[in-house]
Structure 1
Amino acid sequence: MQKFPMTVEGEKALRDELQRLKTVDRPKVIEAIAEAREHGDLKENAEYHAAREQQGFIEGRIQDIEGKLSNAQVIDIKTIPHTGKVLFGSTVELINTANDEEVVYRIVGDDEANIKENRISVNSPIARAVIGKEEGDVVNIKVPNGTVEYEIGAVKHL
């Protein structure tokens, strides 16, 4: 059985979403279906079909979240001794050796990844290249344009 690594924050976000889906969204859509049924002919009732589609989405998402939570491997980076190595949950500063541009990423689970917030999936090419490395190490990361060389500037376990 596959385990899904996730941070403590990621688990909390999934549990919060699950709670909202079950206590807010599901009752709303059930009410919308009941209301649409009162309008009569269900074959030509767009509101009914839209509500049923929404119900299907909500139920599917609930099953998806419950499955991920039951197979979750929650990793609290704060409880792991700081060795200077890049680990799941670490925040890593990368310096492009060609132009000295710096980027900072936090390595998180697939569901938590959000490039706009500088959180990358543990399964991304960048994360796979830096996991296990230490400050000062140089890594080559394959990108669509070729290969980029980065130096690991700093590793933080926040």
Structure 2
Amino acid sequence: MELPILTKLRDELKDVERELRVDVPRELRTAAAHGDLRENSEYEAAKHRQSFLQARAGQLSQRINSLSSLNPDDIPRDVIGFGSKVYLEDMASGDEVVYELVTPEEVDPKIGKISVGSPIGRALLNKEEGDDITIILPSGTKEYGVTRLETIHELLLKE
């Protein structure tokens, strides 16, 4: 079982590597053909882009290696953890809130994807269905009840 984020990161790494092999050298050659490199803004921009892409490739490789060592089978199946989708009831309003604990690369609060390291993510870790949770946020304290839990194992089987 492989984490879906790994495919996304590998695809991005391929794109970055292709740009480093094909696009950047072409841009450097074109800019160099314009003459004096000391005052050549196109050449400088291409060199900056090259440096940025080399750094990004290193970051992606490191992140891929780190996430590749994460085995979903090692994640508990009965408590909230990385990859879990958690259904909460706001104790004050009765509204349902749904969060999915994801990697930093996948965070999108608008659709409920939050980092395990966020205040809400940390408060949810290792909780079980039926637990009540108090979360201290900059906007104030919120109280929730965990009404349903889907672990990464269940979510990976759906894909």
TM-score category (smaller protein): 0.7 to 0.9
1:3 corresponding residue in structure 2? none
Q: TM-score, normalised by structure 2?
A: 0.85
**Separation in 2 of the partners of 1:31 and 1:123?**
41
Describe the superposition over 1:67-126 as per-residue Cα deviations: whole angstroms up to 9, x where unpaired: 22223333437x96743x212111001221111222211111222222233211111111
2:95 corresponding residue in structure 1? 101
Between Structure 1 and Structure 2, the one with more strand by share is 1
1:114 corresponding residue in structure 2? 108
Correspondence 1:48-87 to 2 at 5 A: 48-72=43-67, 73-76=69-72, 82-83=77-78, 85-87=79-81
Give unpaired runs (5+ residues) of structure 2.
none
Q: Is the 8 A contact 1:97 1:150 kept in 2?
A: yes
Give unpaired runs (5+ residues) of structure 1.
1-6
**Separation in 1 of the partners of 2:26 and 2:111?**
36
2:142 corresponding residue in structure 1? 148
Residue of structure 2 aligned with 1:34, choices 15, 29, 35: 29
Q: Alpha-carbon deviation of 1:8?
A: 0.5
* 1:22 aligned onto 2:17: yes
Structure 1 runs of 4+ with >3 Å offset: 79-82
Q: Is the 8 A contact 2:85 2:101 kept in 1?
A: yes
Distance 1:14 1:80, change over 3 A: same
Q: Is the 8 A contact 2:75 2:82 kept in 1?
A: no
Q: Is the 8 A contact 1:89 1:106 kept in 2?
A: yes
Q: Secondary structure at the match of 1:140?
A: strand
Between Structure 1 and Structure 2, the one with more helix by share is 2
**Separation in 1 of the partners of 2:46 and 2:76?**
50
Q: Secondary structure at the match of 1:87?
A: coil
Identity of aligned residues (%): 37
| AA in 1 matched with 2:105 | D
Aligned residues: 150
Over aligned residues, Cα RMSD in angstroms? 2.0
